[in-house]
Amino acid sequence: MNDFNSTIINEFRANNGHVETAGFGKNLVLLHTLGAKSGEPRISPLFGLADDGSWLVIGSFAGSPTTPAWVHNLRAHPDSVAVEAPAAEGIERHETQVTEITDADWEAAWAKFTAFTDQFVKYTETAQGRKFPIFRLTPKS
């Protein structure tokens, strides 16, 4: 894990899910996956939008033309995913069901991200035409 991610994860856990670094505030989740090839546990701090009892996360990778590793991990091991997210009191961890947003619903989900911040629109300028995958993470019952 790189130093920036470690800093974000530590700040998230120390401040009950609130992260000032990079302006995340309470819009950060810690995504727990298994490596697509290695099967090793991974944690990725991601911008997450709360949406009808779920979270939406986007594979923008800050506008990189490369798909982030966590996307490959979700697709390879969708049944082994958990999320740590801010809650009314502290942080909650949930095992989640993963649903990749389909083309039919992608525009509506994309609009939720761009309504929150125009930074996602700016990311498209450097992504070399890559369409960012969006996932819904729904807590398992």
Domain ranges for the chain: 4-139
State the pLDDT confidence band at 102, using cuts at 50, 70 and 90: very high
Contact 96, 81 (CB under 8 A): yes
**Helix, strand, coil fractions of the chain, as percent rounded to 5:** 30, 35, 35
- Taking the C-alpha atoms of residue 121 and residue 113, their distance in angstroms, rounded to an integer, is 9
Is the pLDDT at 110 greater than 70? The verdict is yes
Closest CA to 62 of 130, 13, 8, 108: 130
Half-sphere exposure of 101 (CA within 13 A, CB side): 22
Is the pLDDT at 13 greater than 70? The verdict is yes
- Taking the C-alpha atoms of residue 16 and residue 61, their distance in angstroms, rounded to an integer, is 25
Q: Which pLDDT does position 25 carry in this prediction?
A: 87
- Taking the C-alpha atoms of residue 61 and residue 46, their distance in angstroms, rounded to an integer, is 10
| Mean pLDDT across 55-61 | 97
Q: Which pLDDT does position 23 carry in this prediction?
A: 82
As a CATH number, domain 4-139 is 2.30.110.10
State the pLDDT confidence band at 1, using cuts at 50, 70 and 90: low
User: Can you give the pTM of this predicted structure?
Assistant: 0.93
- Taking the C-alpha atoms of residue 80 and residue 70, their distance in angstroms, rounded to an integer, is 12
